[in-house]
Structure 1
C-alpha cells in the first residue's frame, strides 16, 4: 500500500521515499557551543511500521553506537516498507565527555518520563518521549556493560509478553534474558506508550568489540526481516543456534580484593566448581580461586585487572528455559 500519511518529526516533514537527517538541540555546552543530536530518518514509499534503533543513552557505551553506525553505513536502515529512525548517540553530552552520565550527574536511563522544567537529563528524557516515541511502533536500544564488565551479546525483554518474545526470537542473540523493566528507564517509559522495545547488551564501556557489533547488526537484519521491512538488497544471516532463554541469573561477587586473572569463560556453559578466575595480591603472598557456584552460562565477566571485595565479577545463569549446550 502506498505511503501517503504525513510524518512530521521535530517540526520537519519527511515525505514517502525520503531520507532526512534532523537535529535535536535541547541545551548548549557551558561555552555556548551548540550540541546537536543527529536523528536519521529513512521512509519507504510503502506503508508500514516505524522502528527506532538507538544507542548511547549512556555516553560511554560505544559498542552500541558502532552497531547503529553500521546499520546506517550498510544501508540496513533503508526500509522495504515503513520508516526507520536511527539515533546513534542519544546522550551526546556524555559521549563528548566519555562519561556515562549527563553533565548534571544524572543517569538518563533512570529519569524517564522526564520533565519539561526539570534537570538537564530530565528535560532531555521528556523531549525524547514526547517528540519522538509517539511515532515509534518497535525499537531496539543498544547498550554495553558498565565499567569493565563485559556483557556477552544478549537481548533483554520484559516477561509475559508474547509479542516481545516473537521479536526476541527473530533477533536471535546468543542469549535472551527475562528482566523486569526498571522504573525511570527508557524501556519502561516506552512500554507505557505501547512501544515494543528490546534492549541489546554487548561488550563493555569505552570499547568497540567487532564480534559483538557483528552480532548486533545480524540481529537487526533478522528483526527487520521478521517485520517484512528488510530491504530486498539485504539478506538476513542464519544464526549458528537458537537463542538461549535465561529466566534467572545471579552475580558472583569477589570475596577478597586483589588482581583478577580471568580464565576466559565468557559466553560459555560451565559446571559447578569450574575455576572461573584467580584473585592474587601484587606481592605473591596468596592466590584465591573463584569457582562457579552452579551450572550455568557466564553472561557477563569483569575484565578489570584490579578488584575490591564485593565487586561483581561474574554474572551466571541459574534457570535456563531451553537447554542447548
Structure 2
C-alpha cells in the first residue's frame, strides 16, 4: 500500500504527484547510457500500488502498445493508490526487435538476478531490489513467441484465490492455469508476496488491435475493481482452463492450419494438414478429444516434435 513516503529509484513521489524516472543499468559499448523509462502516478489518497509491465521480451510489442494506450488515455492516473508503468522493460531487445538481451539470455529466466552476474542477471537484480518491493499487484503483458499466436488470455496459478479472483475480473476470453516457472519474473514476484497476472495475446513483432483492446479493457477492469479508477468492471464471458497440453507435429513438412484460434473443436476434427514439398504425402492432424484451441503455431514449415496447437484438457 502507498505510504506517507513513497521513494522509487531514489526519488520521492509526493501524494498527488508524478515522476518520469529512468532505471539505468549499463552503458553500451559505445559508452551510450541505456535507460528504462519508469512512469509513476500517485494519488492523493493511499491505496494499492500496481505495476503495469510490458516488453520483458523485446519483440513482444502488443504489450508495449497496451501500456502506451493506457498512458495516452491517462488511465494510469489513479484516484487512489499508485500506478507504475514500464512500457518497455527489455529496452535492449526492443531496440533491435529481439526476444533476448544482448548477452543472448532470456530475461524472464534470469530472476531473482545477481548484482555481479551477467548483464541480464544484473538487470533482474536491480528490478527486484529497486522496484518489485514497492508494488502490491503486477500485470505483465506478453505475446506468443516467434510464430505462436495466442488468443487473449490471462495466466496464473488458479489455486491461489486472489489470482483467480483478479483473473476473472480482468475478463480475457480465456483464463489458463499456469504454474510458476523457475527463475521467471512471475515466480520471483510471487516469492515476494505480490499478486501477478500474466496477459498473453497475439504474437511477436505484430500489432493486433483486438488483442490491445482486450489488454486495455482488462486492465481497466482490474484497476476499477481495486478502487483505483472510477466505475465498475465489465463482466465478460470466459472459459477457465485448469489443465492444458500441446499437440505436437508427428511429421516434418509444410503446414496448413484448418482451425480458427479460440474455437471449440470436437474429437477427430481436422486441426491442420502436414505435407511434404514433393507431393508424396499428406497427413491430417486431428483433435484428440473435444477441446478449446487457444494457441496456434502459424509457422509455415515445421519439424517433427514442434508444438502446433495449445488446447484444453477437459476434466
TM range (shorter): over 0.9
- Alpha-carbon offset, residue 284 of structure 1: 3.0
Q: Aligned runs of 1:1-325 on 2, under 5 Å? A: 5-230=4-229, 232=230, 235=231, 238-241=234-237, 243-319=238-314
Cα distance between partner residues in 2 of 1:58 and 1:42: 24
- Alpha-carbon offset, residue 170 of structure 1: 0.8
Cα distance between partner residues in 1 of 2:301 and 2:310: 18
Paired residues of 1:248 and 1:317 also in contact (CA < 8 A): yes
Cα distance between partner residues in 1 of 2:62 and 2:122: 25
Cα distance between partner residues in 2 of 1:237 and 1:286: 51
Deviations 1:28-76 (A, max 9, x none): 1222221110001111111101000001111111111111111111111
Q: Number of residue pairs matched? A: 314
Q: So what's the TM-score if we normalise by structure 1? A: 0.93
Paired residues of 2:262 and 2:292 also in contact (CA < 8 A): yes
Deviations 1:7-47 (A, max 9, x none): 11111111111121101110112222211100011111111
- Alpha-carbon offset, residue 289 of structure 1: 1.2
- Give the secondary-structure state (helix, strand or coil) at the position aligned to 2:188: helix
Paired residues of 2:157 and 2:179 also in contact (CA < 8 A): yes
- Alpha-carbon offset, residue 175 of structure 1: 0.7
Q: So what's the TM-score if we normalise by structure 2? A: 0.96
- Give the secondary-structure state (helix, strand or coil) at the position aligned to 1:123: helix
Kindly report the root-mean-square deviation, in angstroms, between the aligned alpha carbons of the 2 structures: 1.4
- Alpha-carbon offset, residue 312 of structure 1: 0.5
- Give the secondary-structure state (helix, strand or coil) at the position aligned to 2:183: coil
Paired residues of 1:65 and 1:88 also in contact (CA < 8 A): yes
1:323 alignment partner in structure 2: none
Paired residues of 1:218 and 1:236 also in contact (CA < 8 A): no
Q: For structure 1, which runs of at least 5 residues remain unmatched after alignment?
A: 321-325
- Give the secondary-structure state (helix, strand or coil) at the position aligned to 1:57: coil
- Give the secondary-structure state (helix, strand or coil) at the position aligned to 2:242: strand
- Give the secondary-structure state (helix, strand or coil) at the position aligned to 1:93: helix
- Alpha-carbon offset, residue 281 of structure 1: 2.2
Paired residues of 1:221 and 1:236 also in contact (CA < 8 A): no
- Give the secondary-structure state (helix, strand or coil) at the position aligned to 2:51: strand
Cα distance between partner residues in 2 of 1:133 and 1:63: 23
